[in-house]
Structure 1
């Protein structure tokens, strides 16, 4: 187990999170046609606004808008390194809000807030509820999602 634990951070176990903690995640991700169009088509979303440039050119957007599932998934991914590397299970996603349209070329950034922590039905893990926020390069909030995660306890899993 010692070698595997070296692959994850040392400060993202259950005990490292307290209600009210806010984390600004280091990376950003620019939304490209690869993410949006590929995933839109893979999940069979038929809304042309996500893949028909010709049709969208005549709209107030003037361009393709990114599928909301892609947007909040990127926010979850940006938050993962700091919040969920030591997850044993994803327990739920709730209160998903897509508050502003995202287009190709927008760059998303993420922040996370710890809403609650609690015991699990096992000794080696606890439950943390995060609220993840996604912002674009203009500092406009574009997404929000609550994530419930079963996280390893440092007392059981960390190197000693």
Structure 2
């Protein structure tokens, strides 16, 4: 069921549509630490301030945010518009981490619908979109493509509208 919008069923999208997603998200050290610990990443530039700021001739001002953490935030920023009615992820491809992200950076996302096609089931379709993440200075930090299986309104809209309602 769509929680925040009604225009995010498969039929709502068209190839070439561009979304500048409304929300931004400021990255914290906790975000980075949690992802490092969950993935057991031992690269000290992600959690050791001295190691990070002295690596590569002092090129970095802060601990580097782990790439999967950046991707998780950027893709998460796209979900309200792009995949709130998705059944599942099919693929995430073409990932590029284009610039460093540090705690305190605020990330923003943009998406473009690249392809729409039938799914293996009649109540859903497949959408492939390109996501782009930028920091507060407009610098591109992450890109990629995501393919999701999304509900078709013809099968789900009425059911979703009635979801959770008590009937006598």
The reply to whether TM is greater than 0.5 is yes
- Structure 1 contact 8–86 (Cα < 8 Å) conserved: no
Larger Rg: 2
Alignment length, in residue pairs? Answer: 156
Structure 1, unmatched stretches of 5+, are none
- Structure 1 contact 131–144 (Cα < 8 Å) conserved: yes
SS at match of 1:7: coil
Distance 1:70 1:7 in 2: 25
SS at match of 1:105: coil
Shift in Å at residue 63 of structure 1? Answer: 1.5
> What does residue 150 of structure 1 align with?
149
Instruction: Check 1:125–1:8 CA distance in 2 against 1; reply closer, same or farther (3 A cut).
Output: farther
Shift in Å at residue 83 of structure 1? Answer: 0.6
> What does residue 99 of structure 1 align with?
98
SS at match of 2:103: coil
Instruction: Check 1:6–1:93 CA distance in 2 against 1; reply closer, same or farther (3 A cut).
Output: closer
Distance 2:68 2:92 in 1: 12
* RMSD, aligned α-carbons: 1.2
Matches within 5 A, 1:9-158: 9-58=5-54, 59-158=58-157
Structure 2, unmatched stretches of 5+, are 162-168
- Structure 2 contact 2–85 (Cα < 8 Å) conserved: no
The CA deviation string for residues 122-154 of structure 1, in whole angstroms up to 9 with x for no partner, is 110000001110000000100001100000001
